[in-house]
Amino acid sequence: MQDDNAVSVATFDKYAVNYAEKYFALRDYDAYYALVAATLPAGPCKFLDLACGPGNAAAYIREHRPQTEILCVDASLQMLAEVKRRLDPVELLAADCRDLGAIQVRFDAAAFCFGLSYFDDADAAKVLSQLHQVLLPGSSMLLATVAGDPGLSGAQVNAAGDKVFNFYRQQAEIEQMLANAGFQVTQAATLHSPATASVRSNDVLVLCERQ
Ligand SMILES: C[S@@+](CC[C@H](N)C(=O)[O-])C[C@H]1O[C@@H](n2cnc3c(N)ncnc32)[C@H](O)[C@@H]1O
């Protein structure tokens, strides 16, 4: 059976340079990166940027909490190359969010931004459970995700025939998935997607605590 998520990752890999040029410099989410940064303990600590893309969340943490050790994880090697270009030296790991078993360290905080909507319900539950495993009890996670009518889920195909599979969910369902995985929501907000987004939607941003 086709792994829809792997198809989406191949498309992100192909267009990593364009994605980085379009989204890396965006400041729309800084206030939310700041919320998770504020939960980091003083002094040296560890931060995970999962499904990091070009490293948007990592860049904020690097700038505002320079003593933090950051691990950037993505399944796209080209996205990781974009991180290296911008944030070197930085620790990179090519891995699938559905299996973070290679990660031995435990993190003081994490960002999982704009990754969730590329997973169906079963895989999304796996990713959140993996995140729960690599985060320390009481630590915080920023989840940002595209939200929308589940009925609109499916493949988005560009002119070259490249596909990304989107799985839309409403905020209440996203919060329920987080609760099921052992995260307590502490703050939540809905924003309009950036003007440059390829599909206009609402973004849900949730700060939650790992129980
Ligand atoms: C929309 S981008 C988000 C990038 C960045 N976090 C941001 O906020 O802009 C989605 C990223 O998720 C990554 N991704 C999707 N499925 C993945 C998987 N199974 N494992 C690891 N990364 C994945 C893609 O390669 C892509 O870099």
CATH code at position 101:
3.40.50.150
Question: Residue 95 C-alpha to ligand 1 middle, in angstroms?
Answer: 11
Task: Report the chain's terminal Cα–Cα distance, integer Å.
Answer: 35
Number of H helices, E strands in the chain: 7, 9
pLDDT of amino acid 199: 73
Average the pLDDT over 58-75 and give the result: 97
What pLDDT band is residue 200 in, cutting at 50, 70 and 90? Answer: confident
> Distance, CA 65 to ligand 1 centroid (Å)?
23
- Please give the distance, rounded to the nearest whole angstrom, from the Cα atom of residue 180 to the centre of ligand 1: 22
- Calculate how far, in angstroms, residue 138's C-alpha sits from the geometric centre of ligand 1: 25
CB-CB contact of 86 with 17 (8 Å): no
86-102: per-residue pLDDT in tens? 999 999 999 999 999 99
Query: Which residues does ligand 1 sit against, CB inside 6 Å?
Result: 5, 8-9, 12, 23, 51-53, 56, 74-76, 79, 96-98, 113-115, 118
CB atoms within 10 A of CB 72: 27
Tell me the residue range of the domain where 30 lies: 4-210
Residue 196 has pLDDT above 90, yes or no: no
Number of domains in the chain: 1
**By percentage, how much of the chain surpasses pLDDT 90?**
94
Alpha-carbon distance of 109 to 106, in angstroms, equals: 9
With beta carbons less than 8 A apart as the criterion, state whether 128 and 137 touch.
no
pTM: 0.97
pLDDT classification of 62: cutoffs 50, 70, 90? very high
Q: Which is the closest atom of ligand 1 to the Cα of 123? A: 19
**Taking 90 as the threshold, does the pLDDT of residue 128 lie above it?**
yes
